[in-house]
């Protein structure tokens, strides 16, 4: 008998983990995506897309599919699905383990302003017009319509449609990872004076943080939401080590 793993994904780590598990005879792995991007990255394992219908829906899915291990490898700002995973694992009585990247830590030379919400980030930009690089999700951009005095460079995976109701915005569609040298070039090219970002952690979007340090550019970082207190690891390697000792299933030849 194999373990049936459901990975709640949407992150580079979830994909890397799936790459490591594909073909492993001990596991049958499926990955779940929220369906936020139009053309999601190719995944190495079977994928299902879209919400489950809350906690009950996720718990029902786990039971129906005979999932024996639930892995929460979602983005650190996707707090709702993490809360649902914690509750559904309890309801369906399956072990849950989270894969959570640790946040970036401030280093000497960083000019960080940490705020509690996107609304606070808008306020932190101040009253003097600035040229601002926004690297938030498409769904989080509306609050910037309240500050039309700034010039914005807005980067997202999919186009922002409809565009924001502001006079000065340049849109860029691009998917990470983003190298520091490319980010530095972008910051220079657009004469960026401030960046608004999430503290996503991990290497793939750190380039802008490092480049901002080099140029002394302010980074307004939206703080992470509170996440449920569940067993967790920080890296794909730690997750593989945990899985190697996953509890054997009844009747399983796995020891």
Q: Which residues bind ligand NAP (CB under 6 A)?
A: 8-10, 32-34, 36, 51-54, 57-58, 74-75, 77-81, 84, 137, 140
Pick the closer one to ligand NAP by CB: 33 or 94: 33
Least Å distance, CB 134 to ligand NAP, is: 12
**Residue 192 CB partners (closer than 8 Å, separation 6+):** 131, 132, 133, 153, 186, 217
Least Å distance, CB 191 to ligand NAP, is: 26
Least Å distance, CB 37 to ligand NAP, is: 8
CA 17 to chain CA centroid, nearest Å:
15
**Residue 242 CB partners (closer than 8 Å, separation 6+):** 97, 233
Pick the closer one to ligand NAP by CB: 79 or 115: 79
Pick the closer one to ligand NAP by CB: 26 or 175: 175
Taking CB positions, which residue lies at the least distance from ligand NAP?
10
Least Å distance, CB 254 to ligand NAP, is: 27
**Residue 14 CB partners (closer than 8 Å, separation 6+):** 7, 8, 31, 71, 73, 74, 99
Pick the closer one to ligand NAP by CB: 1 or 34: 34
Give yes or no for a contact between 191 and 217, defined as CB atoms under 8 angstroms apart: no
Pick the closer one to ligand NAP by CB: 78 or 193: 78
Least Å distance, CB 18 to ligand NAP, is: 12
Helices (H), 100-168: 118-124
Three-state SS at 53: coil
For residue 38, what are its two tokens?
Answer: 């139009």
């Amino acid at each position: 008998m194999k373990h049936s793993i459901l990975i709640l994904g949407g992150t580079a780590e979830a994909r890397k983990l799936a790459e490591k598990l594909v073909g492993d005879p001990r596991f049958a792995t499926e990955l779940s995506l929220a369906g936020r991007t139009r053309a999601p990255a190719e995944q190495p394992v079977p994928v299902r897309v879209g919400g489950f219908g809350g906690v009950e829906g996720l718990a029902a899915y786990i039971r129906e599919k005979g999932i024996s291990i639930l892995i929460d490898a979602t983005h650190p700002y996707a707090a709702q699905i993490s809360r649902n995973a914690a509750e559904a694992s309890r309801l369906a009585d399956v072990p849950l383990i989270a894969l959570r990247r640790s946040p970036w830590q401030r280093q000497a030379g960083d000019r960080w302003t940490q705020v509690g919400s996107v609304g606070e980030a808008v306020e932190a930009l101040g009253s003097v017009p600035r040229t601002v690089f926004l690297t938030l999700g498409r769904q989080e951009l509306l609050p910037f319509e309240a500050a039309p005095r700034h010039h914005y460079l807005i980067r997202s995976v999919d186009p922002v449609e409809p565009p924001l109701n502001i006079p000065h915005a340049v849109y860029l569609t691009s998917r990470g990872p983003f190298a520091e040298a490319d980010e530095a070039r972008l910051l220079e090219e657009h004469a960026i004076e401030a960046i608004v970002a999430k503290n996503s952690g991990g290497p793939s979007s750190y380039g802008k943080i490092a480049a901002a340090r080099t140029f002394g550019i302010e980074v307004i970082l939206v703080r992470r939401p509170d996440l449920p207190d569940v067993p967790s690891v920080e890296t794909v390697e730690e997750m593989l080590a945990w899985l190697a000792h996953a509890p054997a299933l009844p009747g399983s030849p796995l020891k």
